[in-house]
């Protein structure tokens, strides 16, 4: 369980008291507010706040005094147009604030997206909980022999068992020593800012993360992608589900033009044109490298 009963009670209290507002309201998002959406073994994603909805994107695009366009249908058409032509500023007019609990090695990838606001739980000030990410056995895979930085085949049961033993044992021992260092009875205890250095990268941390919709889409395109590391991808996928309920039209356009789309190089476009005219194009006659050609074949099926 990622949260305590006390925390559950705090969440329930926050959901118990609707108040009137004149702001844009997304019904789809109201249903998610504050709730725990579990990810991995101890992690989660919670929506803490949001600003705007599909109509707000159109309202900003038109710099209008009232609502965006006259109808939901027009809104969707405008949103698809904006997405297709890389008009990013109207999407920046929506904002979301999330509370995320995640392993430190995932947090280290995540933070590389700089166009967001972050408040992380401070291990200088507070004591971290004894919670570590231990992968499910089917997630334990070998180094990929194809792309040099991903995963290949799943480990054998025996190897997986050995890995899990290491991960569990080392995490437990490191945490035992962390606790001893900061809190040995009758002693002052080592400063927390120092003791934390003994904790492995699969310990959980948490943060508030706030980002606008345009930059969130950029994050999701990279991190919900099949090449992203599984442990961050599952967070991105969970966020995708939340965003689909928040701004359905914008998310639909994102799926069509970004997630499901592909960028072709000028060489690749040239090949498509030749192929459509009936030419048999091969890697050798394409002008592409082997890697490019393999990726191109993936796009044209």
Please identify every residue annotated as catalytic.
223
Q: Which two tokens stand for residue 197?
A: 């250095």
Give the one residue of 1, 5, 23, 138 binding a second copy; rule: CB under 8 A.
23
What is the torsional sign of CA 221, 218, 246, 204? positive
Residues 272, 252 contacting (CB under 8 angstroms):
no
Task: Report how far residue 226's alpha carbon sits from residue 146's, in angstroms, rounded to the nearest whole number.
Answer: 14
Q: Residue 6 corresponds to which tokens in the numbers above? A: 């006390």
Q: Which residue's CB is nearer to a second copy, number 210 or number 238?
A: 210
- The Cα–Cα gap between 235 and 283 comes to 37
Q: Which stretch binds a second copy (CB under 8 A): 30-38, 233-241, 242-250?
A: 30-38
Separation of alpha carbons 48 and 96, rounded Å: 8
Which position among 41, 180, 237, 245 is part of the footprint of a second copy (CB under 8 A)?
A: 180
146 binds a second copy (CB under 8 A): no
Residues in contact with a second copy, counted by CB under 8 A, come to a total of: 136
Decide if residue 280 touches a second copy (CB under 8 A): no
Site for a second copy in 31-50 (CB under 8 A): 33-34, 48-50
Residues in 154-173 that interact with a second copy by CB under 8 A: 155, 159, 163, 166-167, 170-171, 173
Q: Which residues contact 230 (CB under 8 A, 6 or more apart)?
A: 139, 151
Could you say which of 72, 151, 283, 286 contacts a second copy (CB under 8 A)?
Answer: 151
Q: Which is nearer to a second copy, 37 or 59 (CB)?
A: 59
Angle (CA) 136 139 143, round 5° = 145
Contacting a second copy (CB under 8 A), which of 39, 40, 45, 61? 61
Q: Tell me: does residue 72 bind a second copy (CB under 8 A).
A: no
Residue 282 interacts with a second copy (CB under 8 A)? no
CA–CA separation, 65 vs 123, rounded Å?
46
Structure tokens belonging to residue 61:
């695009």
- Selected from 70, 120, 285, 297, the binder of a second copy by CB under 8 A is 120
Q: Is 184 in the site for a second copy (CB under 8 A)?
A: yes
Residue 51: both structure tokens together? 């600003």
């Amino acid at each position: 369980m990622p949260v305590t009963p006390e925390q559950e009670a705090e969440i329930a209290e926050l959901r118990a008291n609707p108040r009137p507002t004149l702001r844009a309201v997304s019904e789809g998002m109201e249903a998610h507010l504050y709730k725990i959406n579990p990810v991995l073994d101890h992690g989660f994603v919670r929506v803490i706040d949001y600003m705007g909805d599909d109509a707000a994107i159109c309202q900003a695009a038109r710099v209008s005094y009232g609502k965006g366009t006259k109808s939901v249908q027009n809104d969707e058409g405008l949103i698809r147009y904006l997405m297709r032509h890389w008009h990013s500023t109207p999407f920046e007019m929506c904002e979301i604030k999330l509370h995320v609990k995640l392993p430190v090695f995932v947090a280290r990838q995540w933070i590389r997206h700089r166009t967001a606001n972050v408040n992380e739980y401070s291990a200088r000030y507070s004591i971290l909980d004894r919670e570590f990410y231990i992968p499910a056995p089917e997630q334990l895979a070998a180094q990929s022999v194809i792309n040099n930085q991903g995963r290949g085949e799943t480990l054998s049961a025996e190897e997986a068992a050995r890995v899990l033993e290491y991960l569990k044992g080392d995490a437990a021992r490191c945490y035992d020593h962390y606790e001893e260092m900061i809190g040995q009875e009758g002693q002052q205890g080592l400063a927390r800012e120092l003791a934390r250095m003994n904790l492995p990268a699969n310990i959980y941390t948490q943060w508030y993360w706030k980002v606008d919709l345009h930059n969130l889409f950029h994050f999701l395109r990279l991190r919900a992608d099949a090449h992203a590391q599984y442990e961050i991808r599952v967070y991105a996928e969970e966020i995708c589900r939340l965003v689909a309920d928040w701004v359905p039209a914008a998310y639909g356009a994102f799926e069509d033009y970004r997630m499901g789309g592909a960028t072709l190089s000028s060489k690749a476009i040239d090949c498509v044109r030749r192929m459509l005219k009936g030419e048999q194009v091969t890697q050798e006659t394409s002008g592409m490298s082997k890697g490019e050609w393999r990726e191109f074949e993936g796009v044209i099926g």
